Amino acid sequence: MTVNPHNGGVQRWPRVAAIFVFLAATGARAQFDGPGRSSSRPDAADGKVTLVRLRWGSDIGFSRGFGSAWNHDYPRAERHLALIARELTAIDVRTDASLVLELDDPELFNYPIAFMWEPGFWNLTDREAAAFRAYLKKGGFVVFEDFDGAQQWDHFARQMRRVLPDGRLVKLDATHNLFDTFFRIADVHAIVHPMTGIRPSYYGIYEDNDPAKRLMVVANYDNDVPEYWEWSGEGLYPFDASNEAYKLGVNYLIYGLTH
């Protein structure tokens, strides 16, 4: 799929607003499961892009919301993002189901993009570290969301060293093509943490630590972008901020599918 990011970003912004209004009108109707309910299992053979969430265990004893930290915003954040992507892009994305997989599940290799929530509390087994390393090196792209503060960062970085011992987390500036892949995001730091107002930072790990190669990992630090996706129909957060959060989510999908 060929995309013109400059034309796409300028021409499609009003449609982001239109779909956001649609989400506001539908709210939490039946097409989006409640946060504690399971999604139907998709068919990997049908060719549709499926949003995958990574499930992990923790011995820290942390939980929030409707279960362990990994399922924060589940599944409405994915469903809302999928609906936006289907309406605004040529991605044939599944909107009737998402998928939750363990890090060492062989099925993960069928899906090029995955998301992980709350990696500041994530703990790996040796088996999971090895399987996750293989996934990333074979072309997988993972976005880490919803973590903040030095303690959570240090914990996340320790786990990533187990996955990619030689991988270097480097800060991404606003000129990176991740922020201009489909939508041009004028100020990536303006998508602030929805509850604290902290300005975020973005970090990545490149294949072979070479900036000329693809990003395998993106960490959206000091932020909780999916919170905007989940609650975009409820009027909790500013309209413009939710639009920018959706633009970033669509860019993640396009980048992961084309690199």
Buried b (16+ CB within 10 A) or exposed e, 139-148: ebbbbbbbbb
Distance (Å, whole) CA 254 – CA 259: 9
Average pLDDT over residues 119-131: 94
Coil/strand/helix, residue 20 = helix
pLDDT at 238: 83
5-32+51-216+223-258: CATH topology is Rossmann fold (3.40.50)
pLDDT band at 225 (very low <50, low <70, confident <90, very high): very high
Least trusted range by pLDDT, from 55-59, 73-77, 156-160: 55-59
pLDDT at 58: 55
Candidates 42, 58, 164; CA nearest to 96 is: 42
Candidates 55, 119, 91; CA nearest to 249 is: 91
Q: Give CB contacts under 8 A, 24+ apart, made by 82-87.
A: 82/51, 83/19, 83/23, 84/16, 84/19, 84/246, 84/249, 84/250, 85/49, 85/249, 85/250, 85/253, 87/15, 87/19
Helix and strand element counts for the chain (H, E): 6, 7
Q: Retrieve residue 41's tokens.
A: 């299992």
pLDDT band at 45 (very low <50, low <70, confident <90, very high): low
Least trusted range by pLDDT, from 33-42, 100-109, 160-169, 192-201: 33-42
pLDDT at 43: 61
Residue 86 dihedral angles phi and psi, to the nearest 5°? -65, -40
Average pLDDT over residues 246-259: 94
For tokens 């999916």, the residue is 226
pLDDT band at 39 (very low <50, low <70, confident <90, very high): very low
Q: Please say if the pLDDT value at position 138 is more than 90.
A: yes
The single-letter code of the amino acid at 118 is E
Answer whether 0.95 is exceeded by the pTM.
no
pLDDT at 259: 87
End-to-end CA distance of the chain: 12
Contact indicator for 55, 117 with CB cutoff of 8 Å: no
The side-by-side arrangement of strands in the sheet containing 201-206 is: 99-102, 52-55, 113-117, 141-145, 215-221, 201-206, 170-171
Q: Which helix (H) or strand (E) holds 143?
A: strand 141-145
Most confident of 28-32, 81-85, 186-190, 235-239: 81-85
H helices of the chain, in order, are 5-26, 76-88, 126-137, 150-163, 225-230, 239-258
pLDDT band at 15 (very low <50, low <70, confident <90, very high): low
The single-letter code of the amino acid at 164 is L
Coil/strand/helix, residue 201 = strand
pLDDT band at 16 (very low <50, low <70, confident <90, very high): low
pLDDT at 26: 42
